[in-house]
Chains A and B, each alone.
Chain A
Amino acid sequence: MSDLTNFIATNADWFYLVGAILFVLTLRGLSSPKTAIRGNRFGMAAMAIAVITTFFLAEGPILWMIVGAMVLGAVVGMWKARTVAMTQMPETVALMHSFVGLAAVAIALATVLHTEEAYSTITRLELFIGCFIGAITFSASFFAFGKLAAKSWAKTLVGGWVKPVQAILFIAMIGFGAVYFMTDSLPAFYAMTVLAIIFGWMWIAPIGGGDMPVVVSLLNSFSGWAAAGIGFTLGNSMLIIAGSLVGSSGAILSYIMCKAMNRSLLNVLFGGMGTTAAAAGGDDGAPKNYKAGSAEDAGFLMSNASNVVIVPGYGMAQGRAQNAVKELYELLKEEGVNVRFAIHPVAGRMPGHMNVLLAEADVPYDDILEMDEINSDFASTDVVLVIGANDVVNPSAKEDPTSPIFGMPILEVTKAQTVMVIKRSMSTGYAGLDNSLFYMDKTMMIFGDAKKMVEEMVRSINGGGH
């Protein structure tokens, strides 16, 4: 063993400490877009330190196998990172969560198979917890990936049988885990892992697409706890620290998302979807009238306004309309209109989804405001343009105590003078709720594909402005 090898191996914990500090700074950097890239680089450095240190620490490492697996993973990862479209970020993130979960399962199994010796009680407990968290993260995230990517196999499960089956799976999983814990029985460990994988799937399958921001955040948190679990098994504080940082990050995101929907986490996870409450709110059977308008009218109105707020929702992502929206934004700016964007925390399919899409289209972040920053400005806004958002602007959340979304904080667009809504049809949003905003006198509905309609608005302003 050379001096260097020896030095690194005996001081490994110090190197891991440096890595852990850099990990904290990585997250710290994300407090502002100005420092975020530097933070990301700290994260890369920390990872490099951790991996290199571990090379020296491992006893009898199979170098070609490790390096080969790394190179293969790097190629796949870099290729995916370069080619993925920003509209596909939610499903990509979910898929990556499932990889962390599967890796944790593989490591736990590898550890269990490593020696004939019985592990200590505490190690068995750690392995058992680490493995089932990893297994649930894996299958639940994989389902979330399928759901977000609209794969045909990711079907939402409905029916009264789902909850009892979930409960039985969960109890059986814990039961086999306990058997492993007490008797060190390998078959029990395998059974627990398989049950955890099935449970993870069954757990997320009943949850609808609109609740995916919460689910993705929660699985983010889970992937962190899975890493921390492996850290406990190895007695490695860097893994524990990184895992806890990720775990609390995901937990906070889930909390923010739940709060923005005025629902508890338990309600999202075990309450099924809001679809059961469909049409319960506000539908008194009376025919309701709405005004439909054209994109040209909308373009005219906006170019003559002095304050315009654009509210993007999932419809913008679905219609890939962000670049057209950016064009509209620039054009209105040139006409001297004060244009800003209002983002609801649960707009889209994951936290921050809209911000990334608008950033991709080159909209400066200073003009993109959060709900709390912009809500007081709607009263002085001439025109609000809602693009493919529904529940986040539904006034029933404030006014109708019988509405299932009553109490949910919304963007208060009804305070503006005119509201224009781009929507495919009058059908209800994912929550299955009618939106009284659409029937207000000040509201004009523009039916059609988000991208096409925004492009038409741009054309009408360009053509009719002079």
Chain B
Amino acid sequence: MIATVLAAAPAGAAMSSTPFVAIFTVFVLAIFVGYYVVWGVTPALHTPLMAVTNALSSIVIVGAMLQTVTIDGSVFTPTSLLGAFAVFLASINIFGGFAVTERMLSMFKPKVKKAPVVDADNGGDA
């Protein structure tokens, strides 16, 4: 019984046997990478930065998907429903976050070196 539960559960995927110190190393080094990369972000783009990091932290969708699984053959379990709910929330952020970032970034434009156009009507002929 227990063996089947463990086999059906994504136990191998969910509860990794990787030593804790190994993933902790990844964690610490990633903080350093984040520290240096984020200081390089121009202050003008701090709002898009927040929006895109929102989408990025919705990578928790991976964890949500691993819980939206059948357990002992049953589909509707508290685990799968909570998992699906988390997939839904994370998807809002992923699609919404990237899309709104794209929308904001497309607004940032450099100065266009245009001819001193005053009247749009006269600009065309010449």
Residues on A facing B (Cβ under 8 Å): 20, 23-24, 26-28, 30-34, 36-37, 39-40, 43-44, 47, 50-51, 54-55, 57-62, 65-66, 68-74, 76-78, 80-82, 84, 86, 89, 92-93, 96-97, 99-100, 102-104, 106-107, 109-111, 113-117, 119-120, 122-123, 216-217, 220, 223-224, 226-228, 230-250, 252-253, 256, 334, 343, 345, 350-353, 355-356, 359-360, 362, 364-368, 370
- Which of A39, A244, A359 is the one whose CB lies under 8 Å from B109? A359
Chain B facing A: main interface SS: helix
**How many residues of chain B have a CB within 8 Å of chain A?**
95
**A residues in contact with B92, CB < 8 Å:** 73-74, 76-77, 80, 96, 99
B79, A242: Cβ atoms closer than 8 Å: no
Task: Using known A-B contacts A33-B44, A93-B51, determine if residue A66 contacts B79 with beta carbons closer than 8 Å.
Answer: no
Inter-chain contact B65/A61, CB cutoff 8 Å: yes
Contacts of B80 in A (CB 8 A): 62, 65, 110
**Given A92-B100, A356-B47, A97 and B14 contact (CB-CB distance below 8 Å):** no
Q: How many A-B residue pairs have CB under 8 A?
A: 408
Complex interface: chain B residues within 8 A of A34 (CB): 110
Question: Does A100 lie within 8 Å of B2, measured CB to CB?
Answer: no
Q: What is the 8 Å Cβ interface bit string for chain B, positions 1-36, against chain A (1 contact, 0 not)? A: 010011011111111111010010011001101110
Residues of B within 8 Å of A59, CB to CB, are 8-10, 12-13, 69
Cβ of B38 and Cβ of A249 under 8 Å apart? yes
Q: B103, A81: Cβ atoms under 8 Å?
A: yes
Q: Which residues of B contact A102 (CB under 8 A)?
A: 86, 89
Hey, which chain A residues are within 8 Å of B34, CB to CB?
A: 27, 244-249
- CB of B54 within 8 A of CB of A96, answer yes
Q: B residues near A, CB below 8 A? A: 2, 5-6, 8-18, 20, 23, 26-27, 30-31, 33-35, 37-71, 75, 77-80, 82-112, 118
Chain B proximity of A110: nearest CB distance (Å): 4
**Bound CA–CA A81/B93 (angstroms):** 10
Contact (Cβ within 8 A) A359 B104 = yes
- What are 13 A-B residue pairs whose CB atoms fall within 8 Å in the complex? A62-B69, A82-B99, A89-B100, A109-B82, A110-B80, A114-B79, A224-B56, A228-B27, A231-B23, A236-B62, A240-B30, A249-B34, A249-B53
Q: How far is the CB of B57 from chain A (nearest CB, A)?
A: 4
Task: Please state if B86 and A106 are interface contacts (CB–CB under 8 Å).
Answer: yes
CB pair B50–A350 under 8 Å, yes or no, is: yes
**Shortest distance from the beta carbon of B34 to any chain A beta carbon, whole Å:** 3
* CB neighbours of B57 from chain A (8 A): 100, 223-224, 226-227, 242-243, 246
Which residues of A sit under 8 angstroms from B12, Cβ to Cβ? Answer: 59
Q: Bound state CA distance, A113 and B18, in angstroms?
A: 23
Q: Inside 8 A of A58's CB, which chain B residues have their CB? A: 10, 13, 65-66, 68-69
The CA-CA distance from A119 to B104 in the complex, in Å, is 44
CA distance A109 to B79 in the complex (A): 8
List chain B residues, Cβ under 8 A from A250.
50, 53
Looking at the complex, which one of A37, A62, A230, A245 makes contact with B60 (CB distance below 8 Å)?
A: A230
Task: Given A103-B60, A106-B82, A111-B14, decide whether A47 and B50 contact each other with a Cβ distance below 8 A.
Answer: no
Find out whether the CB atom of B46 lies under 8 angstroms from the CB atom of A355. yes
Shortest CB-to-CB span from B51 to chain A, Å, is 6
